[in-house]
A and B are shown apart, each in its own frame.
Chain A
Amino acid sequence: ETGVTQSPTHLIKTRGQQVTLRCSSQSGHNTVSWYQQALGQGPQFIFQYYREEENGRGNFPPRFSGLQFPNYSSELNVNALELDDSALYLCASSPPMGMNTEAFFGQGTRLTVV
């Protein structure tokens, strides 16, 4: 059973650019969530995907968007990057919706915006 994997592990982008981060969910998990963790803070919920549709969104602007594919893998896209977008981006997968259960996290992608 493979865990949650994210790519790339590190990334440096320039302000105003666009970035795509990728995540492969754990086997058997059809729900994927993305979180942003700024330095010294806890992870903050960006959005969640279930069956290829966004199902739940945190307090993030529309320039944060995502996709989920038929194999349940997911992408996080951020347009018009700002310096404050520098953070660790975490992907988490969990079993089917409707169950209170733990989310399993990947190792994260460290994004630096300069």
Chain B
Amino acid sequence: DQQVKQNSPSLSVQEGRISILNCDYTNSMFDYFLWYKKYPAEGPTFLISISSIKDKNEDGRFTVFLNKSAKHLSLHIVPSQPGDSAVYFCAASGGADGLTFGKGTHLIIQP
């Protein structure tokens, strides 16, 4: 039973364009959502988060949108840069049971 789903295993975007990564969740108890970026042979690096009381959070080139009624969130990266090529994980939190992660989306930025 996958509570956090990232349905796109990979995404290819041209440098300078917008990258949009999507994430769906099923557990209504989740109240905090995070995006992590992971390079090979490294641990996940925190990117941006959003609380369930908000619908948007912005940090530089990264914006996360939350649609609670649809149980959907998305990460927008504008403009996309070659260094953004990595695996992106969506994660959710709802208490003391740690973070629940999706399977990840491999973002490839093409020159």
Contact = CB atoms under 8 A, between A and B. Distances in A.
B32 A90 contact: no
B108 to A, nearest CB: 16
Contacts of B93: 100
B111 to A, nearest CB: 27
Interface in A82-101: 90, 92, 97, 100-101
Interface residues of A, number: 29
Interface residues of B, number: 27
Contact of A56 (B98, B103, B104): B98
Interface string A1-45: 000101000000000000000000000000001010000111111
B16 interface: no
A44 B101 contact: yes
Contact of B101 (A43, A56, A100, A101): A43
A46 B43 CA distance: 16
Nearest to B51: A100
Nearest to A91: B43
Nearest to B48: A102
Nearest to B32: A100
Contacts of B6: 42
B97 A103 contact: no
A107 B43 contact: yes
A105 interface: yes
Nearest to A46: B98
Contacts of A79: none
A45 B96 CA distance: 11
A13 B97 CA distance: 29
A83 B29 CA distance: 34
Interface of B: 4, 6, 31-32, 34, 36, 41-46, 49, 51, 89, 91, 93, 95-104
6 tightest Cβ-Cβ pairs between the two chains A and B:
A42-B101, A45-B98, A105-B43, A56-B96, A100-B32, A102-B46
Interface of A: 4, 6, 33, 35, 40-48, 55-58, 90, 92, 97, 100-108
